[in-house]
Structure 1
Amino acid sequence: MIDDKPYRQVGQASPDGIVCLADHASNFVPEDIDLGIDPALLGEHIAVDIGVEGVADRLARQHGIPAHIACVSRLVCDFHRREDEPAVVPAESDGHLIPGNIGADIERRLATYHRPYHAALGEFIADHSPRLLLALHSFTPSLASRKEERPWEVALLYNQDDRAARHAISLFAEHGLTVGDNQPYSGKQLNATMDRHAEARGIPYLTIEVRQDQIATEAGQARWAALIADVASRTQLALDRA
């Protein structure tokens, strides 16, 4: 964590632009928490959205899109869940038991990590007054717990407000990409951060899921940061003209 904060903020931009956030960017586990898992799992998708931190950093430092980036693993506290959801401190993930979370002090995790993260994100959004929010995630090409095909290089997730997603789906497709429309996950079921910070405020948003093999390397992260910055800016322009 940075100065005992469960997030860090990078970059400056003029008001009324785009703001980025990354709920699952870190695999960090504080020393006072023992998850009881094989440490190797901290490098897997159950602990972190692989590649997302590098993309978010590049968006902030190279493309003028300031970013609010998580500094704690989703296995410690999942910022992309509501406080009342059992998975906010998961006891299991993709077939792996998380013994250290069974019987954990959930209220303490919420008070230490979840609430400060979202309070700061709310202030970050208020300070920048964005016209578009950009949430970054990545998804694994395959799950250990079930067999399914995931051919999409990138996906757009949304709940009720699909204004921005519809533009971005078309723009990514123009680049020759196979684009998931609320796949492999659906924003109708899992959209907690954007429900709270975008839909509740009436701010258009893009929740972008990139397949992990696309952004596992620095070269891939640089490529996708440039691509996402282009699609986001063109989406914002289209919304402004609507």
Structure 2
Amino acid sequence: MSSRTSDFHAWPDPVEVLNAEGQSEIVLICEHASNYIPEVFDGLGLPPEDLVRHIAWDIGAEAVSRALSLHLDAPCFIGKYSRLLIDLNRPPESPTSIPERSEATDIPGNFHLGAEDRQLRTDRIFTPFQAAISRHLDLRQQQGRPTKIIAIHSFTPVFLGEQRPWHAGILFGKSFGLGRQIIDRLTEITKLRIGANVPYVIERISDYAIPVHGEDRGLDAVLVEIRQDLIGSADGQSRWATYLAGALS
């Protein structure tokens, strides 16, 4: 613990803000952009091949978010740490905030964490990331600017042996109108299978951006899940950024 605490201030910033002055009504959030884990954590006890899998990050989501930010002239908040250290789209009290198991893989470095270790990750990664978004949304609301939140994620084609047939999913809670509008436009643009509230659903215990930054402020907020094999290459990432720009314009 002492070595981790001494390295605390050497860790990179937990958030990169793109195009903060962008004029779009859209604010983009990409919580699972990175698989970065500081050396002091020794990869959380995982081999390198596990740290490039979906369990550590959302493959392709960062590149799509960056390109979409340019297409729309939209602010974008990029997470800079692996979801295995602490998940930026989970409330800290969620059982999956710091997972001991992800999909079928145990995360040894997260076993039996004490309160001090959990608080360190919350204070250094989770809280500053959310605070940066909150400050930005506060300012927009003070200025009376229309605002919609779009979170960008990716999902695996197969989960625990089960095939997922959708090319993308649009997840929403209270923002039914915006969610259905995006589904209809994406379906028209791509001619692909776009599902509603698949492969997950929005729940307050397992989601943060949509209920807290969106619904609690009375803002439309939708989470976009793209199947990761479709955005694993630069061509696919560019293609899906263009698709989403068309659906959101």
- Per the TM superposition, whether the score is higher than 0.5 is yes
5+ residue gaps, structure 2 = 1-8
Aligned match of 1:8: 16
Q: Between the two proteins, what is the percent identity of the paired residues?
A: 34
RMSD of equivalent CA atoms:
1.9
- Contact 2:202–2:210 under 8 Å retained in 1: no
The equivalent residue for 1:148 is 162
Residue pair 2:24, 2:73 contacting (<8 A) in 1 also: no
| Alignment pair present for 1:49 and 2:61 | no
Is the alpha carbon distance of 1:14 and 1:113 closer, same or farther for their aligned partners in structure 2, counting shifts above 3 Å? closer
CA contact (8 A) 2:151 2:223 kept: yes
Looking at structure 1, the residues matched to 17 and 93 of structure 2 have their Cα atoms a distance apart, in angstroms, of 26
**1 CA distance for matches of 2:81 and 2:196?**
28
**Of 172, 176, 180, the match for 1:158:** 172
Letter in 2 for 1:225: A
How far apart are the structure 2 equivalents of 1:118 and 1:36? 27
Q: In structure 1, the residue corresponding to 2:169 is in which secondary structure?
A: strand
Aligned length: 231
Cα distance change of structure 1 residues 116 and 130 upon mapping to structure 2, 3 Å threshold: farther
Q: What's 1:238 paired with?
A: none
CA contact (8 A) 1:159 1:191 kept: no
Alignment partners' CA distance in 2, 1:20 and 1:232 = 11
**What TM-score do you get using the length of structure 1 for normalisation?**
0.89
Q: For 1:28-43, what aligned pairs fall within 5 Å after superposition?
A: 28-34=36-42, 35-43=44-52
Shift of 1:2: 10
In the alignment, what sits opposite 2:4? none
Give me the whole-angstrom Cα distance separating, in 2, the residues matched to 1:112 and 1:199.
25
1:91 aligns to 2:100 (yes or no): yes
Q: Is 1:80–2:80 an aligned residue pair?
A: no
Tell me by how many angstroms 1:14 deviates. Answer: 4.6
Higher alpha-carbon deviation: 197-206 or 103-112: 103-112
Residue 68 of structure 1 corresponds to which residue in structure 2?
77
The reply on whether 1:111 has 2:123 as its aligned counterpart is yes
After TM superposition, what 4+ stretches of structure 1 lie above 6 angstroms from structure 2?
none
Q: 1:48-90 CA deviation, whole Å, 9 max, x = no partner? A: 1000010111122343122100000000110110110121111
Cα deviation, residue 130, structure 1: 4.6
Question: By how many angstroms is 1:32 displaced?
Answer: 2.0
Q: TM-score, normalised by structure 2?
A: 0.87
Could you tell me which residue of structure 2 aligns to residue 132 of structure 1?
A: 148
